[in-house]
Chains A and B, each alone.
Chain A
Amino acid sequence: MKKISRRSVLGTAAVAAAATTLPSLPARAQSKSLTIGVCSDFSGTYSDIGGKTSVACVQQALEDFGADKKGYDVTVIQGDHQNKPDIGAGLARQWFDQGVDLLIDVPNSAVGLAIAGVAAEKNKAYINSNSATSKLTGTACNAQTIHWTYDTYMLSHSTGGAMVAQGGKSWFFITANYAFGTLLRDQTTAVVKAAGGTVLGDAAYPFPQTTDFSSFLVQAQSSGAQVLGLANAGKDTVNSIKQAHQFGITQSGMKIAALLVFINDVHAIGLEIAQGLILTESFYWNMNDRTRAFTSRVLPKTPNNYPSMGQAGCYAGVTHFMKAVDVIGVDAASNGAAVVAQMKKMPTDDDAFGHCYIREDGRFMCPSYLFQVKKPGESSTPWDYYTKLHTTSAQDSFASPATEGCPLVKA
């Protein structure tokens, strides 16, 4: 009898003790201690446009800011949301409960939106530098969230607008059937229709487990549309384009509008197949001296993967966050609304995006660039893939705050 009691008690005590040692975060006893959490996709569809390179960019930002020299003790932790909103939200909740001051990155709009809710609930700073959904500065905006880098509005108007201007009037969409894909498709549809075009059909597929797009490509081909609009990203886009090539879509004269493409995707597809693709990014490593300098500093930390705009956004976001903390102090930094308010007050400046600013609704305002992928012969150095076609000003790249339904915007 006594045996059972002792054994069970010991057993449960051991488990309980183990359970309390959830990721331990440094005590705030030392005056200048901060924790930054990188919540990203480390193994799935978006692992190349987020993942380890995002962490590298965060670390680079801290180095360039001189965090150590200024006496800051910053811990960077990372977590894999596996493209599941419940895992992402649970991770965010746990991190914020245990003292994380800033949550950054988050490719995948569904997870991005879920975390925005948690950030508001816990009043902690959240810089989303890798989701696309413009709802983050629209109906889902809040005082703790900043949406960095790009959004679906920018993509639909820049790439979508360019394709329509080139004569692509009839479209067929292949859409990742979740928050991001459906929004991108809807916004691009608006652009197409406003220019007098039509949408002949839409094939929405389950995300993230679809790797075979053949059935949707067949539908697209038989619709006779002029443009194949890909409302997806990451490896989905890579697979769609490769398979489109296998099915002879480009040979038959159909154009591909890859609405969201990162340089890592172009690398995966290869210039042979990707040449001529038109895409929009707000950062390109080879665009000017400052971007080249930043890239050469961060590359040793991420040797096989050059940073694309989302990861550069992690760099810029952390840089700006640290500048804000410099002003308001570390203790105030755990108050999300306070830090974000300070970040909105100060203009931003970094090697990745240059001089920009953050709007009242949390939207990071930077210009966007229309690029075309080079032909294999035109590319001289590794990852030298883009030719810049056009620059759109920050004002024109993003939706006007009045129309998006953000409660923070005074009417």
Chain B
Amino acid sequence: MFGFSRGQLIGFVLMTAVIVAAPFVVYPIFVMQVMCFAIFAMGANLLMGSIGLLSLGQAAYFGVGGYTCGYLVQTFGLTPELGILAAALAGAALGAVFGWLVIRRQTIYFAMITLALAQIVYFWAVQDINVTGGENGIQGIPRGALFGLVSLNKDLAMYVVVAIIFLACFLLVHRVIHSPFGQVVKAIRENEPRAISLGYKTDQYKWIIFILAATLSAIAGATKAQVMGIVTLSDVGASGSGLVVLMVLLGGIGTIFGPLIGALIVVAMQYYLAPFGAWVVVIQGVIFMACVLVFRRGIVGELAHRLRTAL
């Protein structure tokens, strides 16, 4: 059903149940942040899992999404769903331009150019103070009313919106992977020369995945901006790019539940270990190393491997 395997279907049902119950048990803002970062990680996972390319600059789209939504909502009074939509378009546009520049490059150079492009976006964010607020960021972004009707000021109302966006993105990503389009992408990953010889324009497929990843990142950034009411340079900086790679790696590259699990663990760590200051960074580093050395499949990947099903 929906192209889910048995394991995935159960996982999906469980996930939805947890999402529905969570705000009554746990601090809702925490769960909303997890979902936003999970969307962000889903985008990076598409790049790393489907076409095997490591982008070191995903935070650029996350930040652009956040700034677009924040600026439009705060300055022009746009309703939240329009703000997030605008952010998605901005992310897609940026992804299209950057993607066209980089998609033909091979692994290391791809990573390096994405890093360079992200630094250029960061520089724009610092300089364009009228839009981004520079070092101060955009503060006090109002949550507004969804479609102009339902006020999102109550955390629970905002939560429902975020949950719906998350589930929609989740299903979208899954659909993309299990569509004919996704099959071609998989073929390109396994043997690009053969795919080319079969007549597929592989660059275009990769480009579309890149745009999709950027769009998801932008949606995540915009949603987070609405939840927290604030967008700052840390959202568009290099640490965010590193963090999302950690989430994907920890969760399991190429799995569909991986991004959520990875995001959950990383965000939870930052909450719980905040009193311990910089130990969070140390632990993140250790997890990175552990994942690369002995845990390459990630949590969900390892689970899937043991249960011999796709997750």
Q: Do chains A and B touch in the complex (CB under 8 A)?
A: yes
Binding site for B on A (CB under 8 A): 1, 3-5, 8-9, 12, 15-16, 18-20, 22-23, 42-43, 78-80, 84-86, 89-91, 93-94, 97, 110, 113-114, 117, 177-179, 206-207
Closest to A42 in B: B277
List the 10 shortest-distance A-B pairs measured between CB atoms, nearest first. A178-B135, A19-B26, A86-B230, A86-B232, A110-B136, A12-B18, A179-B136, A117-B140, A8-B14, A114-B139
Query: Which residues of B from 1 to 31 have beta carbons under 8 Å from A?
Result: 6-7, 10-11, 14, 18, 21-22, 25-27, 29-31
18 further contact pairs, Cβ within 8 A, besides A23-B275, A42-B277, A178-B136: A3-B307, A4-B307, A8-B10, A9-B14, A15-B264, A16-B25, A20-B26, A79-B274, A80-B277, A85-B136, A85-B137, A85-B232, A86-B232, A89-B229, A90-B228, A94-B29, A114-B230, A177-B134
Residues of A within 8 A of B93 (CB): none
Q: How far is the CA of A147 from the CA of B235 in the complex (A)?
A: 29
C-beta contact mask, B190-213 vs A, less than 8 Å → 1, else 0?
000000000000000000000000
Question: Beyond A20-B25, A110-B136, is A8–B268 a contact (Cβ under 8 Å)?
Answer: no
A-B contact pairs, 23 of them (CB 8 A): A5-B14, A8-B11, A8-B14, A12-B14, A16-B26, A18-B272, A42-B277, A43-B278, A78-B275, A79-B275, A84-B232, A84-B234, A85-B136, A85-B139, A85-B232, A86-B137, A90-B29, A90-B228, A97-B27, A110-B137, A113-B136, A177-B134, A178-B136
A113 touches B139 (CB 8 A): yes
Residues of B within 8 A of A79 (CB): 274-275
Residue B181 interfacial (CB < 8 Å): no
**Distance between B301 CB and nearest chain A CB, rounded to angstroms:** 15
Interface residue range, chain B: 35 or more
Residues of B within 8 A of A110 (CB): 135-137
B268 touches A85 (CB 8 A): no
Residues of B within 8 A of A90 (CB): 29, 228
Q: How far is the CA of A206 from the CA of B233 in the complex (A)?
A: 11
C-beta contact mask, B227-254 vs A, less than 8 Å → 1, else 0?
0111110110000000000000000000
**Distance between B241 CB and nearest chain A CB, rounded to angstroms:** 17
Q: How far is the CA of A71 from the CA of B281 in the complex (A)?
A: 41
Q: How far is the CA of A3 from the CA of B307 in the complex (A)?
A: 9
Residues of A within 8 A of B229 (CB): 89
Residues of A within 8 A of B136 (CB): 85, 110, 113, 178-179
Question: Beyond A12-B18, A86-B230, is A178–B134 a contact (Cβ under 8 Å)?
Answer: yes
Closest to B30 in A: A19
Q: How far is the CA of A217 from the CA of B181 in the complex (A)?
A: 57
Question: How many interface contacts (CB-CB < 8 Å) are there between A and B?
Answer: 92
Q: How far is the CA of A5 from the CA of B6 in the complex (A)?
A: 11
SS of A interface (majority) = helix
A94 touches B232 (CB 8 A): no
C-beta contact mask, B132-151 vs A, less than 8 Å → 1, else 0?
00111101100000000000
B18 touches A1 (CB 8 A): no
**Distance between A41 CB and nearest chain B CB, rounded to angstroms:** 11
Contact of A89 among B21, B26, B134, B230 (CB under 8 A): B230
Closest to B234 in A: A84
Residues of B within 8 A of A4 (CB): 7, 10-11, 307
Q: How far is the CA of A37 from the CA of B27 in the complex (A)?
A: 19
Residues of B within 8 A of A3 (CB): 307
Q: How far is the CA of A20 from the CA of B14 in the complex (A)?
A: 19
Q: How far is the CA of A86 from the CA of B227 in the complex (A)?
A: 12
Residue B126 interfacial (CB < 8 Å): yes
C-beta contact mask, B264-279 vs A, less than 8 Å → 1, else 0?
1000100110110110
Q: How far is the CA of A4 from the CA of B300 in the complex (A)?
A: 12
Contact of A117 among B10, B137, B139, B231 (CB under 8 A): B139
Closest to A23 in B: B275
Query: Which residues of B from 23 to 45 have beta carbons under 8 Å from A?
Result: 25-27, 29-31
Q: How far is the CA of A86 from the CA of B229 in the complex (A)?
A: 9
Closest to A43 in B: B277
Residues of B within 8 A of A16 (CB): 18, 21-22, 25-26
A80 touches B26 (CB 8 A): no
Query: Which residues of B from 85 to 144 have beta carbons under 8 Å from A?
Result: 126, 134-137, 139-140
Q: How far is the CA of A333 from the CA of B25 in the complex (A)?
A: 27
**Distance between A47 CB and nearest chain B CB, rounded to angstroms:** 11
Q: How far is the CA of A93 from the CA of B272 in the complex (A)?
A: 16
Q: How far is the CA of A20 from the CA of B31 in the complex (A)?
A: 11
**Distance between B193 CB and nearest chain A CB, rounded to angstroms:** 38
Q: How far is the CA of A91 from the CA of B126 in the complex (A)?
A: 24
Contact of B228 among A18, A86, A113 (CB under 8 A): A86
Residues of A within 8 A of B139 (CB): 85, 89, 113-114, 117
Q: How far is the CA of A89 from the CA of B229 in the complex (A)?
A: 9
Closest to B153 in A: A121
Q: How far is the CA of A177 from the CA of B129 in the complex (A)?
A: 11
B134 touches A18 (CB 8 A): no
**Distance between B66 CB and nearest chain A CB, rounded to angstroms:** 10
A207 touches B135 (CB 8 A): yes
Q: How far is the CA of A16 from the CA of B17 in the complex (A)?
A: 12
Residues of B within 8 A of A80 (CB): 274, 277
**Distance between B125 CB and nearest chain A CB, rounded to angstroms:** 11
Residues of B within 8 A of A23 (CB): 275
